[in-house]
Structure 1
Amino acid sequence: MSSLKIRNVLPSDLDRVTEIEVACFPAAEAASKDAFKDRISVFPKGFFIAELDNEIIGFINGGATDKSHIEDEFFKTMKLHKDSGENLVIFGLDVHPKYQRKGFAKKLMLHFIEEAKKSGRKKVLLTCKEHLIGYYEQFGYVNEGVSQSEHGGAKWYDMYIDLL
């Protein structure tokens, strides 16, 4: 029986992570290879890979901040990242389409939340599209309404989960 392994990202994961991102997001919203390279080098402890039978099938990645909402600039560069930030932000939760609807995204999210708690963070922040609000609410995220984000030209909703 195959089992899912969740681990921190390695620089050698860059190409596969980029492939999965392109498969999961429209071009206007997908992070670039350079953005992933930046995230991997700046905050690998906030970037988790899901492996099934030694194949990378998904990932979750983020940064740290003292702010209460994700700024669009954060999706492009890690210059806003503050290693000691009280909150973690999620840039993306990706599972390759071939492996979706099997519970892998849920395992990645639970792992990210647990790691955020272990590192003493106060909240985890994310933005999502309207059809995903209910999905994130199952983890305890609270919908704050329409985000000011204009990332990729889409309509986003700000959500957060209190960890304390």
Structure 2
Amino acid sequence: MKDVDTLTEIEAESFPPAEKATRESFEKRLAAFADCFLILEENGRAVGLIDGMVTNEPKIRDEMFSNAELHDPRGKWQSIFGLAVRPQDRKKGYASALLRSFIEKARQEGRAGVILTCKAELIDFYSRFGFVSSGVSASVHGGAVWYDMTLTFDRSAQAQN
């Protein structure tokens, strides 16, 4: 909870008003799934964040953004609601570092994979990490057009490790 103001600031700097999570939303998310947040700091200053609930649903629904009670800590899928880096700190690899760490965390927790929605211009970015697009999402969050992306972990490789 001590990071709620920082999370709110980074989010506000990174997303349009209709898409950003509010302070109240972050408070509810932190109360329900604080362990599903990562904050990246550089020289003691927060530069980025990544967060999302765990669910058994293979795609993100708009209700998930506003209802933290839908978090299921035993769920198969780690979702990503937001990956945000302060504008002045972009193009330094911070988003990639956050994403890699979040993916590895989900893998270590035994999830089936990671799900997210993104805009068309970010499909290639997420594809570099193994995410596959399944087309236009049913989500209309913030009035934007979103694409469902899924990274499925190779369960047989996990069993061998």
1:16 CA drift (Å): 1.0
Query: Among 38, 41, 51, which residue is 1:51 paired with?
Result: 41
1:24: how far off?
0.4
TM-score (norm 1): 0.92
- Residue 5 (structure 1) aligns with: none
2:8 match: secondary structure: helix
Alignment partner of 1:94 is 2:97: no
Q: Residues of 2 paired with 1:134 and 1:93: CA distance?
A: 15
Q: Deviations over 1:87-110 (max 9, x none)?
A: 110000000001011100000000
Output the TM-score relative to the length of structure 2: 0.94
Aligned counterpart for 1:160 among listed residues 114, 130, 150: 150
Partner of 1:105: 95
Query: What is the one-letter code of the residue matched to 1:44?
Result: A
Compute the displacement of 1:44 (Å). Answer: 1.4
TM-aligned CA deviation for residue 83 of structure 1: 0.9
For 2:131, give the aligned amino acid. Answer: Y
Task: Give 1:136's aligned amino acid.
Answer: Y
Aligned length: 154
Amino acid of the structure 1 residue aligned with 2:87: P
Look up the equivalent residue of 2:103 and give its one-letter code.
Answer: I
Residue 13 of structure 2: aligned partner: 23
Q: Indicate yes or no: 2:52 matched with 1:62.
A: yes
CA positional deviation for 1:25:
0.4
2:127 partner letter: E
Q: Give the letter for the 2:28 counterpart.
A: D
Structure 1: runs of 5+ lacking an equivalent: 1-10
Which residue identity lines up with residue 76 of structure 2 in the other structure?
E
Q: Distance in 2 between matches of 1:88 and 1:72?
A: 15
8 A Cα contact 2:32 2:69, kept in partner: no
Aligned-partner Cα distance in 2 for 1:126–1:76 = 15
What CA RMSD, in Å, does the superposition of the two structures yield over aligned residues? 0.7
Structure 2 distance, partners of 1:71, 1:157, is: 12
Which residue is 2:67 aligned to?
Answer: 77
The secondary structure found in structure 1 opposite 2:3 is helix
Higher strand share: 1
Runs of 4+ in 1 over 2 A off after TM superposition: none
- Matched position secondary structure for 1:70: coil
- 8 Å contact 2:136–2:145 — kept in the other structure? yes
- What does residue 159 of structure 2 align with? none
> Residue 6 of structure 1 corresponds to which residue in structure 2?
none
